[in-house]
Amino acid sequence: MSKVIELRTITRDFPLGHEIIKVLKGINLDIERGEYVAFMGPSGSGKSTLMNLLGCLDTPTSGSYILNGNDVSKMSDDELAEIRNKEIGFVFQTFNLLPRTTALENVALPMVYAGASKSARTERAKEVLTNVGLADRMDHKPNQLSGGQRQRVAVGRALVNKPSIILADEPTGNLDSITSLEIMHLFDEIHAAGNTVILVTHEEEVARHAHRIIRLRDGVIESDEKKEIIVP
């Protein structure tokens, strides 16, 4: 397998008044294409900051970040925006859907930024929504959908540009236990189809779906456990 992510001595500092808060303290990490990884750690461990860096929503204070062969640690904001749209599919706890547009339009939105034609956007969005089990909900707006259905729309939007990695931040945080299980089975299917999946979670039962669990504490990697886990 080839590496999709390479982090070398990544640090991230934040100024707070006259102090400098060191949140990430020299992270070294490789993630292979096709891996299924969960980041865990207590509040303040640095996992959200690391997720923002992996998603090119932020840049490191020092160190290098190679994403799919591109050194993104030195890129401009415009270059980062292009990488985000092309290489990364985001799934958020709060869904982040546009309320006045349909499921189909929400899913197609990243393809608008990518410059795809309307016919190509529509065809691909229909394909993705069918794959996530929402073939009969394409014309529904978010307020006409359940929480689980909204998260499926969000997952579809993340997949639409065929990104290198799917990045999910607490993807079941706003869902009940039964719906959470359904969404995690969907992530299992996405991974089985060959996608690289990286999620941040504080829930052990969610992390157990991953084949690799990385635990952070105080800005460093505390443990990195790889295992083959069969999810029923």
Tens digit of each residue's pLDDT (9 = 90 or more) over 69-94: 999 988 888 999 989 988 999 998 88
Tell whether domain 36-56+75-226 is in CATH 3.20.20.70: no
DSSP class per residue in 37-77:
EEEE--TTSSHHHHHHHHTTSS--SEEEEEETTEEGGG--H
State pLDDT tens for residues 95-147: 899 999 999 999 999 998 888 999 999 999 999 999 999 999 999 999 999 99
> What is the reported pTM?
0.90
Q: Output phi, psi for 57, to 5 deg.
A: -85, -10
Q: Render the burial of 196-213: b for 16+ CB within 10 Å, e for the rest.
A: bbbbbbeeeebbebbbbb
- Locate tokens 């996405």: which residue? 190
Residue spans of the domains in the chain: they are 36-56+75-226
